[in-house]
Structure 1
Amino acid sequence: MLRVLAVDDEKPLLEELLYLLRSDPRVRSAEGASDATEALRRITRALESGPDGPDGIDVVFLDIQMAGLTGLDIARLLAGFARPPLIVFVTAHEGFAVQAFDLKAVDYVLKPVRPERLAEAVRRARALLGRSDGAEAAEPAMAAAGPTVPARRGPVPEAGADLGVTTGAGAAAGAAARSGERVPEQIAVELGGVTRFVAIADIAYVEAQGDYARLHTDEGSHLVRIPLSTLEERWAARGFVRIHRRHLVALGRIDELRMDAGATSVRVGSAELQVSRRHARELRDLLMRQATG
């Protein structure tokens, strides 16, 4: 089975790539590096350990355009070693393919990464390494079914209804109702080329991750390429309120409001989220209005 290092300086994309790799039964371990310096440190340790050592790496899944050294630069450095790990480039750009294969890359996978395409890259790497451990039979089922997102949060109580208040989320809700604007019931989520539809009512809170947002539900989390500010505006009519620059929360999913030494936080299921000072007072008012009907 393969020992893999995935390298990408966009953290959400790195997490998705690692998730897909770890879902492949032919991958024994998959670790991540978020920049070229960290990647080179991990690879150097692997080379010093030797191919059969505890830190060994068989394949590096490598983004090309990164801050500082590019993936091509890393591949050129590795070409100077006697037994470097295999390289699979994973990139959103088609224009580097010739350079990649000049550097003896095993494969060139375009983003957004499809599970079946990544599975083919894993198969090619295994074939070059001469690995055979009986895991191939699991590949068709994995590619056909697509990955499932593991649960990361505990139980979350039933979502609340429209709040009927005149500030914050309630104001936006009233505006949407007056304009006759239809509030969407679902959001489309892309994962490895598969589109899923997540009910907004199932979302407990949303976490900002750069230009992306991670939606947390009872069953797990989903990544979408939408800024948190956009979701705040769109979902105000669904009872979502901003509590922090990083978090948007469904008001009806808040289990507890905690105030300690001037700091405010809320518990949503098993997650405890900080509330910024600028949002604390409005949030308290909204929760009190909700509690008193």
Structure 2
Amino acid sequence: MLLNIAICDDEDSSRKIMIEYIERILDIENYRISEYKSGEELLSNFPEVIDILLLDVQMGGLTGMQAAKEIRRFDTSVNIIFTTAFVDFMQEGYEVRAFRYLLKPIAYEDFKKHLLGCINSILESEKRHLAIKEIENGNIVRIPIDSILYVETESRYVLIHTDKKTYKSRMGISNIERELECTKFYRCHRCYLINLKKVEGMKQNSVLIKGEDIIVSRYKMKELRIQLTSILGEILC
């Protein structure tokens, strides 16, 4: 997994120290770092995906806490680690769901402990959620994998159907398939990716999921039956 790490701090020396720490902790091919000198710069150039945001609380202009509140309006999944010389912001940090606080000057062992803890949390979460960027409002949302019924292509977009709503994204269906490769999903057609656990029955050339007929390619029907047998413990005819 490639980690996208952003550092926002108005002190050059602080950003440099954190980058040096990251270089000591992680292999260079496993992460990508972006730097920002202010909350305004961060919000104006916010990357499409950030896994971890190291955010200074006290900066000139827009504070880190104010920036975090704005970020939470459109990105509920990024893990925020605040860096600060004071502990007066704990309650506000709770409001924006901060992952941790690091007190300045930041000690290497403390940084390593919290960074690795954050990464482990992300890896565990990735097993249970699919992160996408919605077309409608540009928000990044994390969809519980178990809630996904099926995914279908619609022109240049994909529709992700869940138990409660349908999400629309530019994320390709092949990319979603790769994200879900270790789960119980199956590409039954070039336009459909189905959750095998949600299949209610089979017809000659389709499966039934929550009352919807999903087309199955003829040459994939046999393999699909085998997949369903392993999931459901019986052959659906």
Report the TM-score, using the length of structure 2 for normalisation: 0.47
Q: Which has the higher contact order (CA 8 A, sep 6+)?
A: 1
Name which one, 1 or 2, has greater alpha-carbon Rg: 1
TM-score by length of 1: 0.39
